[in-house]
């Protein structure tokens, strides 16, 4: 696996050195992506994704892939097209930051190879400040299977002044999601967040 050296500014890494231990040291969002879209030999493909408030069970965000869309050739994407594939933006509303816990449900398929020790590490930041970090393990996926992965996030209480800054500065809250198989990075996606009056939870 080769990562673009320009993207490795926090980690000072190259080649196969993008390990779980390394990404757990990140203190700010990466400038780009630490692996290529083609670094996914297991054919892991995200099919649908839902975010809900655990207390009210209200769905805050839901998206599903159109099954009729043709497969995309990741090797020929422009940087702008690649970012559109790998980065998603949310507006969850002003009340989201006071929730106690949220749940996410990810449905995904895998190709003809078994997927051992599938793990996700997610780092959340406001500007260049780490505010939350999560580490989930799915375990083993059998070949050619469709799977569901539900993760429950206990939301740590944030200082009121930080909450206000996050509300006042849409999309300056970001996250990096790193997906590992046997501690090898196979996928890296990003998200940007807003918490405005027009959001889902108002």
pLDDT tens by residue, 162-174: 999 999 999 999 9
Output the pLDDT for position 16: 52
3-state class of 97 per DSSP?
Answer: helix
| Interatomic CA distance for residues 44 and 75, integer angstroms | 16
pTM of the model: 0.87
3-state class of 83 per DSSP?
Answer: helix
Q: How many Cα atoms within 13 Å fall on the side-chain side of residue 130?
A: 13
* Structure token pair of residue 32: 């780009």
Those residues whose C-beta lies under 8 Å from the C-beta of residue 41, and which sit 6 or more positions away, are 113, 186
How does the average pLDDT of the chain come out, rounded? 88
Q: Are strands 184-194 and 87-91 parallel, antiparallel or unpaired?
A: parallel
| Interatomic CA distance for residues 145 and 151, integer angstroms | 19
% of the chain with per-residue pLDDT over 70: 91
């Amino acid at each position: 696996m080769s990562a673009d050296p320009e993207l490795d500014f926090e980690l000072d890494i190259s080649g196969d050195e993008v390990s779980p231990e390394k990404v757990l040291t990140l203190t700010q969002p990466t400038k780009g992506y630490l692996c290529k879209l083609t670094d996914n030999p297991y054919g892991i493909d995200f099919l649908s994704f839902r975010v809900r408030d655990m207390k009210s069970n209200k769905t805050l965000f839901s998206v599903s892939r159109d099954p009729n869309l043709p497969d995309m050739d990741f090797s020929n994407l422009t940087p702008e097209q690649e970012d559109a594939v790998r980065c998603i933006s949310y507006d969850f509303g002003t009340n989201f930051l006071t929730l106690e816990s949220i749940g996410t449900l990810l449905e995904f398929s895998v190709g003809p190879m078994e997927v051992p020790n599938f793990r996700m590490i997610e780092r959340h930041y406001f500007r260049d400040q780490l505010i939350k970090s999560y580490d989930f393990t799915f375990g083993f996926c059998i070949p050619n299977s469709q799977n569901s992965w539900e993760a429950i996030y206990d939301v740590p209480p944030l200082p009121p002044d930080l909450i206000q800054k996050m509300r006042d500065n849409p999309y300056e809250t970001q996250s990096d999601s790193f997906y590992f198989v046997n501690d090898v990075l196979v996928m890296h996606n990003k998200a940007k967040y807003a918490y405005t009056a027009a959001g889902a939870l108002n």
